[in-house]
Amino acid sequence: MAASNLVLIANAGGVGRTVLEQLRGQGVPVRALVHHDDDRAAGLRVLGAEVVVGDLTRPESVAAALQGVRRVYFALPVSPDHLLATTVMASLAREHRELDALVGMSQMTVSQMTSTSTTESHQQRLHWLAEQVLNWSGLPVVHIRPTSFLDNPLFTSLAAQSIRRNGTIELPFGTGRTSPVAVDDVARVVSTVLREPARHIGNVYELTGPRTVNMNEMAEEYSRALGRPVSYVDVPLEWWRTEVLAKVGLPPHTEEHIATMARLHRENRYDRASDDVERVTGVPAQTIEAFVAAHQDFYLG
């Protein structure tokens, strides 16, 4: 790939770092925008990325990061500044006038929302509005809408604590079904689009695991992966929020978002499945069992 196809990774954490690793492994030139020039930034340089320090909410940072760039992966961690950063990126990218693609990270809940819906989290509302901004911008946009991540603390650190303690997964999901997707699979979709974006422009990709499961079925997949009994214990939502989630020490905006995700799971809003991972990449999304088995030491301690 020619250097003129330089990709900007605007947020190299989580999915972004994995996308960066995949692109660099295929020789694609990558620039990463980071908040701080720290050990994580040094690790990105080791992978062969150009690293620039900046802030997605500051126009001067974004303008500098876009120089010579043709393709952008745009994402933020859960943040009340999501809409501001999206608007800054869209404005500067329009002035840049050289983009072949802007791949924006959104959330699958957006597909269930309207301009007046109010039952979602503030973060989910920001994602809905951000998609409108990108669509209005006239830029060559691709929206990536994953469902909840298998790598989310709901299914990793919090689940590992209760599995080690008493062989259970304790969540307030009731009988709701879910189909979480792995970061690696989402990153494969993003990097595939960034390598050859032309045929993807204007598309929305909704990314899930291969099937929906209720929490008892999820516990069975954990059991098979870990080689020990794991059962699901449904707990009251408000008790879980005050006695479990609140003690994690998250910022209020993030805590509200995760608590809303839990409520929407309980209301069966996450009962959704798509084959978009396989359709875009040619490889199916990994199962819950495969993901947990690959991280067995983490769960068992």
The predicted structure's pLDDT at residue 2: 43
The pair phi, psi for residue 74, each rounded to 5°, is -115, 125
pLDDT at res. 1: 39
164 near 300, Cβ under 8 Å? Answer: yes
Residue position matching structure tokens 């909704």: 206
SS3 content of the chain, % helix, strand, coil (to 5): 50, 15, 35
Contact 205, 234 (CB under 8 A): no
Question: CA 221, 225, 228, 232 torsion: positive or negative?
Answer: negative
Residue 4 has a pLDDT of 65
pLDDT of residue 13: 86
Q: Cite the DSSP H helix spans in the chain.
A: 15-25, 39-46, 59-66, 82-96, 122-137, 157-166, 183-195, 215-226, 237-243, 252-266, 276-281, 288-294, 296-300
Cα→Cα distances 66→53, 63, 194, Å: 12, 5, 15
* Residue at 300: amino acid letter: L
Residues 232 and 214: their CA atoms lie apart, in Å, by 10
| Beta-carbon count within 10 A of 86 CB | 26
Residues 245 and 182 sit within 8 Å (Cβ to Cβ): no
d(CA 196, CA 286): 23
Task: Name the residue with tokens 């993003």.
Answer: 190
| Angstrom distance (rounded) from CA 262 to CA 155 | 12
Q: Are strands 231-234 and 168-171 parallel, antiparallel or unpaired?
A: parallel
Which tokens go with 154? 């709901």
Cα angle for residues 25, 66, 77 (degrees, 5° grid): 70
The answer to whether residues 183 and 153 touch, using CB atoms and an 8 Å cutoff, is no
Pairing of strands 141-146, 204-207: parallel
The two beta strands, 213-214 and 177-178, are antiparallel
How far apart are the C-alpha atoms of 201 and 199, rounded to whole Å?
6
How long a stretch of residues is the chain?
A: 301
Q: Could you tell me the pTM of the whole model?
A: 0.95
Output the tens digit of pLDDT for each of the chain's 301 residues: 344 689 999 988 899 999 999 999 999 999 999 999 999 999 999 999 999 999 999 999 999 999 999 999 999 999 999 999 999 999 999 999 999 999 999 999 999 999 999 999 999 999 999 999 999 999 999 999 999 999 999 999 999 999 999 999 999 999 999 999 999 999 999 999 999 999 999 999 999 999 999 999 999 999 999 999 999 999 999 999 999 999 999 999 999 999 999 999 999 999 999 999 999 999 999 999 999 999 999 999 8
8 Å CB contact between 125 and 87? no
Amino acid identity of residue 121, one-letter, is: S
